[in-house]
Structure 1
Amino acid sequence: MRNFTLFYIVVFFVLSLNETTHAQIVISKPSFKAIITQACASSSFNNFDVTFAFSPESNLESSNQFIVELSDENGSFSNPTIIYTSNPGAVTTSPVEFSFSLPTTTAGEAYRMRAKSTAPASISGSSNAFPAYYKIHDTDFSINNLIETAVYCSGGSYLLAIDDINKFSGNSPLQYPSLTYKWYKETSQTTSVFVSEGNTLSVNQPGTYFVETNYGSCTSDSVSNRVTVSEASSGSTSSINSSLGNPYCSTDGPTVLSAINANGYQWFKDGEVISGATNQMYETNESGEYAVNIDLGDCMTSATINIDNTGFTSSIDVDDVNNIDENETLIATLTTSANNPEFKWYLNDTMINGATNNSYEVSETGNYKVVVTQTTGCNASTEFAFIVREAFPNVEKIPNLISPNGDGVNDTWVIPQNYVSGTNTEVLLISSQGKIALRTKNYQNNWPENQIAFGSINPVYYYIITTSDGKTKKGSITVVR
């Protein structure tokens, strides 16, 4: 009787073990369908395809669900994120394929995935580790108020910082407290080296620096502008940023000029001190050359910017003063970025009939100007003035009076052609104090080229003209306003 009972116990155990073995499945570790080594997501892309296999299919129960979990950044599943759950009984064949999106908090180098079943209960091994980041900020951002250069005193340093308000379009990465940053120093136009981490960088070595949002193995498009930092020396300069750009449209309101971080400031316009303008920023809606003296504590530096409020750029290909020979012409051409530009040319303040193109062929001497107007967008104008005069007019006598007042008449000392450039004649001018003002064998009928200072009496100069055969002419020149 004991043997018979033992037989039934053994048979029951074998049948139970067979039934338990039959109910199990084996699940392979999940993997990405595409051959990728990292998951880099952003607002414009966040979809990843994953697959895993299981067997045997016949062991699945009708209530089974498959669940796929994502570990933390260190590969731990102590508090996993579920990235996929199938409906009960919906998946009956292998392999299983699904898509998922990274949580916006994802940031790390060693994430893993694993798959689980509920009926029967089974769990896969964890996937290979992979970097994964959701790039919550992935556009350009500004540092140093978008100022391209900075200066530090010898033995000191300069602090570069990410701007709270992005000077480019978009928001500042500082709005996302979870982000971290890596600073780099350029070693060439295409290479750089890592120097530090953090929101700021204290620089005490010359070089060009920039910072990226730290997305580990994923490529970051969240990159700052470059700033070139140098050690202060005699005549060292920085730069100024205009909040509306340069040129800007005055109808959009004033622009804000910004200088680098420092202890103190003094702003200038066209060489004149701007009273009360002693802050890091200065607001203006006027064109002109602006400068700022910058107190760095142990040393000084300066910066300048030539502001144009027309909203477009223009240039002309002739000099302020141009010489042409008799029967010669001069073609002046204006280049501009203005939208639908309109051109008007003037001679001696009288508009030239029919001259409405960007080029004009000058055949007469006189005072010229061209006005270009942008007719679409920012409605603004700018003008260029220039003088055209006869190169070596055929005068008979050496003049003893000139009036360099910019009116185009008798502005320079014009002498007969047999004494000017090409005749190997030496022209010597001496001031009443005995100083040499001019000495040349290539006289261009262009003296004085620089402004002459007037005192209580009109300046007098003495000339000695010596021809190639040794003959001389002597006399005086009185300069009047």
Structure 2
Amino acid sequence: MKKRLNLTIVAIFLALGIHVAKAQRNIGAPSLTSGAQACGTLSNSFDFVARLSPGTALPTNNEFILELSDPTGSFANQADIEELDRVLGPNEASGAESNINFTNVTVPQNANSDDYRLRVRATEGNVTNTISEPIPFHFFDDDNLLIRLNSGDDVIFCNVASFAKEISVEVTDGATVLDVNDFNWEWLKDGTIIPGESNPTLLVTEEGTYQARVPVGLCNNVFRFNKSNRVDASLVNVGDISIVTNASDFSFCPDELKELRASEIDFSYDYQWFKDDEALEGEIGPTIILPDNDFGGEYVLQISLSEDCSDLQTQAVVVTNEGSSITLPLPEGLILLPTQILTLVVETDAPVGSTFRWIRDTNILIQGITTGSTITFDVPANGVGDYRVEIDALFPDDPCMTMLFSETKIRSAERFDIIIAPEGVVDCEQDPITISLTEMVGITSDGERVPLTTEQFAFFAFEWFNDGVSTGETSLSLDVSRSDSGGSFELRAIFGPGGLPNTVSNNLPIDFLSSDIVLDITPPILQVGESVVLTAPFNDNFTYEWYVIINGEEVLIENEIGNTLTVTEEGNYFARISTSLCTVDTITASVGGPEALSELIPNVITPGGNVSNNDWVLPNSFRETDVEVTIYSSNGKVDFQKNGGYNADWPTNSASQANELIYYYIISRSSTVVKKGTITVMR
């Protein structure tokens, strides 16, 4: 009987065990549905799946939570666990495994490790889970991001035994330059990580190919823009680069192909050709084709491989013109004034006795034999057209039998345009400023602008005007003095023979500035919660920029372009004032609060032997050696000035004996204005 009872109890327990086993369900390790790593950006997402074992139903309100470990793969600290997603169910009973699907899961923006692990946790019911193997999670926002190394330039050193060059990273997001210190960095040399290099700069001392990148583990090959361009560092032993030509020597006839080139050509190098020590504009390739005229001379090629290997020069070669040239050609275009006889002039080194002919359009006007190096032709009135001079160089004096020509277009003008400008670079304190006629052009019926020659200026009568009023000056230049108070200037021209419209130049404002402009500060003290206004001298012709000095650097205050600036913070400010001619900075104004400017400066003195207020007495801090005090009379003359600290020196040392009612003062500390105002003298 007991034996049967024991068997019954065992059966009951076995049944209970089977029931418990069926009640507890397990969640397998979650995994990516595709790929092996989650490389996240702002525009992508990922799907994950976990397998739920068969079993009885779970509570209908149960949710499955996809959780991400800390970067080391640990779930020990709940604060470091991040919830990625949660779904409701599947919670029904199942005799087979079920899928728990998590879709469109984004990667946390702080994720950056190859060692993260995942698990799925149930909020209700008796459910266990399995932690995944490591899955790389990395986030990198590469939209519009550009990482540029060393401004894209390779590092090339030449003809040295060793080198050292620092290369650096620049990061931009569209037009915005980002702080490189906001990123982590690693450096590669020839595709291999350089241990210990994590700064945005790298000192390169070896040849190789270098690249910087933001480290994103196993996602390095997935993200497109987490890495910079590659920069090659090389040490080049440059041999004797020379100028060569396919011809037998450097002597040419004008009609031959005259090509010079570098003996070593690399289109990544920078080239500049020189003739007779003058750089040839636009000739910046490894080859040059010489013109048919005036090509003889000494040629040098300058080569730059990099900023550290630059200005290498070849040995000079002398190119000889075996034929003849036109050494002074005709101008490209000329204006023929009414009643004017215009003389065309060319110069040539063709042998005396060569044949020449002048042609207008297609008609030969005159021909003859040269008697010297200069050939001229007088164009008659109304002789507009296309002109050409041709020269057949005399053989055998010219073995090339050179055929030379030069062309110009002669047009009539319907009107004229005058340009006036200052002579040379103008300093704001320059006195006087000389302005002059810099260009006069004739404008043809089809709108072509053709410069007049200086000889043609004599056909015009000129007159200078200031603010619309004649100055009486009729020369081609005018001195404008500070005492003249500037103004707007024009030059007017009248064609003497008549028949052409009068001409007025551009309007040129002349405004004088000094280097000691003091800003007005109103009120002088910046109260808490209030503001002060800085004011610079106003002029319609001035443009203004405002700056604040921060840590010794001038920082532009955006969108402040008037002559006033409202300031709500203490600091040192100045205005940069520009005229049409020059730019000057005002004296820096120090804006301080009540504590900074708490020492009172008297604005009234009463000299005359009454003991008190005889002298202008300042607080003790103005006795320091970096203080400068300047006092001006009402007409702007310096009445008193002292460097190295002030000690009640005025009006004892007053140039005017303090006989005026009002004086103006400026107090500077280390060349920065700290206070200015007026002094009233009461007698």
TM-score range relative to shorter protein: 0.3 to 0.5
Q: TM-score, normalized by length of structure 1?
A: 0.45
Higher relative contact order (CA 8 A, sep 6+): 1
